[in-house]
Amino acid sequence: MAVSDPSRPEEEGEDTEPLFTDKRRVDPDTGDVRPEAARTVSEGDLTEEDLELLADAERDLVAEYRDRAARAEAELQNFRTRVERDRQANREAVVAEVIRSMLPVMDDLDRAEAHGDLAGGPMELVALKLRASFERYGLTPVGVVGEVFNPSVHEAMVRLPEAGAVGETVADVIEGGYALGERLIRPAKVAVKVPADD
């Protein structure tokens, strides 16, 4: 068995303890900057002009990342606004469609009320509850006798010439119309009083 000589380095392949060099700038035990790492580049290798170029590049880089962050934040805010607007529009469209499907029921209740069939009966309470539910969503009736005829919310079914009539006005509401906020759900079918030709 060969004995290794402590004065000469061990041959390759033999077990040796590895040698580590800690090149960290900050001492992990104390948290202080080590003296050899404290030497800055400005102390030696770079000129004043090089340092100014580095500072300018750093400022440009910071400005670029701030600009990117601001744009990303603006895009996110625009996306949120667009999603919320689309969600609201979708909600309004669904509510309008449900209400539109229930309008024949409202028409039947209006006809029954006009004939006096609802007064004092249990259906009067049902009609009141149904109308209150629709009003909660912003449903408003369109078409009242005596108002000025407006083709954007009224559908003229009959024109009634009348002597002395001034302009076109609603003489009778044949079928009531409804609006949901600014959206017209159904135009009112009306008889229109018009000035008679002499």
Q: Considering its fold, how many domains does the chain have in total?
A: 1
Pairwise CA distance, residues 21 & 43, whole Å: 24
Dig out the tokens for 64 from the structure: 């670029």
How do residues 113-125 score in pLDDT, each as one tens digit?
Answer: 888 888 888 888 8
* pLDDT of 1 higher than 80: no
pLDDT at 198: 54
Pairwise CA distance, residues 120 & 111, whole Å: 16
Nearest by Cα to 131 from 141, 143, 142, 120 = 141
**Cα 122 → chain centroid:** 43
Which DSSP letter does residue 4 get? P
How do residues 26-71 score in pLDDT, each as one tens digit?
Answer: 777 887 877 764 444 444 567 888 788 888 888 888 999 999 999 9
Q: Is residue 120 part of a domain?
A: no
Element (H, E) at 192: strand 188-195
Q: State the residue range of the domain holding 166.
A: 140-198
Q: Is residue 172 part of a domain?
A: yes
- How many CB atoms sit inside 10 A of residue 169's CB? 17
Q: Is residue 30 part of a domain?
A: no
Pairwise CA distance, residues 93 & 104, whole Å: 19
- How many CB atoms sit inside 10 A of residue 130's CB? 14
Q: Is residue 87 part of a domain?
A: no
**Cα end-to-end distance, the chain, whole Å:** 140
Sheet of 177-180: strand order equals: 139-142, 177-180, 183-186
Q: Is residue 146 part of a domain?
A: yes
Average pLDDT rounded to a whole number, residues 11-15: 56
- How many CB atoms sit inside 10 A of residue 2's CB? 5
Q: Is residue 193 part of a domain?
A: yes
Q: Is residue 93 part of a domain?
A: no
How do residues 83-134 score in pLDDT, each as one tens digit?
Answer: 999 999 898 889 889 889 999 988 888 888 888 888 888 888 888 898 898 8
pLDDT at 41: 45
Pairwise CA distance, residues 13 & 159, whole Å: 112
CATH of the domain at 170: 2.30.22.10
Angle, CA 169 vertex, CA 163 and CA 172 arms, to 5°? 100
Q: Are the C-beta atoms of 189 and 174 separated by less than 8 Å?
A: yes
Q: Is residue 151 part of a domain?
A: yes
